[in-house]
Each structure stands twice: as C-alpha cells, then as structure tokens.
C-alpha cells in the first residue's frame, strides 16, 4: 500500500486523509497508508508526498481504463501501466545471483580438466 505525508512546502501543519484505517491526520513526519485509488487524483498535489513501494508494482501494472488515463495525466506522462510503474518506482530491480563468488570459483575450478600425462615408454624395451 502506498503511504502519504505532507510535503515540506505544505502551507499547513496537519491534514486529514481517508487512510486504510479510516480518517487519519498526517503531518510532515507522520504518514499513513492509503489505497491506490485514493492516490490517483493526488499524485500532482505539491502539498503531499506519496510513497510507493516495490510491493505496489503489481497493482500499478494492472491499471487500465479511466484510472490509467487519470494516473498518466497526473504524472504528466504518456504511455501504459508499465510507464506508470517505472515513473513511480523506477526500473524493476534485477534479481541478484544466488551463487556466491566462492562457490562460482569452486565450480569453475572443478570444470577444468586436469592434465593426464601419458607414461613414457621405457628405453629398456
């Protein structure tokens, strides 16, 4: 869920919003969780700071119709739901490799075939 708090430029110290737990008073230091739908018409409000988390990406990618159009308009961008997610969250983080450097060294060393020397023929024969 996104959260909202007052921006540093807000001309007032407190503001009441309809959060996920009902009517809640926010300040510059105290945020509250709000629904995704609540944020749509407020994205361009200079008095509010709306914070999205990576867990919101799936919901943002599912935006469509009028909600998507309004969100694009609020952000002053053109595109589709993936552009909204990119604008609000940035690029999707790439998964980190689960193989540690030490393990990859062991695997790469194990993949090298040892040299096998052929026995020299003895001169006695």
Q: Specify if 121 maps to a domain.
A: no
What does each C-alpha distance from 81 to 57, 64, 125 come to in angstroms?
10, 7, 82
Please spell the DSSP secondary structure of 68-103, one letter per residue: HHHHHHHHT--S-HHHHHHHHH-SPPPPPPSS-HHH
Q: Specify if 115 maps to a domain.
A: no
Q: Write out the residue range of the structural domain in which residue 69 sits.
A: 3-110
Q: Specify if 28 maps to a domain.
A: yes
pLDDT score of 103: 55
Compute mean pLDDT per 10 residues along the chain, 125 residues long, and list them.
95 94 95 94 94 95 95 95 94 71 55 60 59
Indicate whether this model's pTM tops 0.85. no
Q: Specify if 91 maps to a domain.
A: yes
Q: Specify if 83 maps to a domain.
A: yes
The structural domain count of the chain equals: 1
Q: Specify if 117 maps to a domain.
A: no
Please spell the DSSP secondary structure of 2-44, one letter per residue: -EEEE-TT-SSS-EEEEETTEEEEE-SS--EE--HHHHHTTTT
């Amino acid at each position: 869920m996104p959260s909202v708090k007052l921006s540093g430029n807000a001309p007032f110290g407190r503001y009441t919003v309809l959060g996920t737990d009902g009517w809640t008073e926010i300040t510059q230091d105290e945020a509250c969780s709000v629904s995704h739908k609540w944020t749509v018409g407020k994205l361009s409000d200079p008095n509010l700071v709306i914070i999205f988390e990576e867990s919101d990406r799936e919901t943002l990618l599912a935006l469509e119709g009028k909600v998507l159009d309004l969100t694009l308009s609020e952000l002053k961008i053109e595109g589709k739901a993936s552009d909204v997610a990119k604008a609000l969250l940035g690029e999707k983080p790439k998964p980190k490799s689960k193989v540690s450097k030490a393990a990859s060294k062991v695997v790469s060393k194990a993949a090298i075939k040892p040299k096998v020397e052929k026995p020299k023929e003895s001169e006695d024969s």
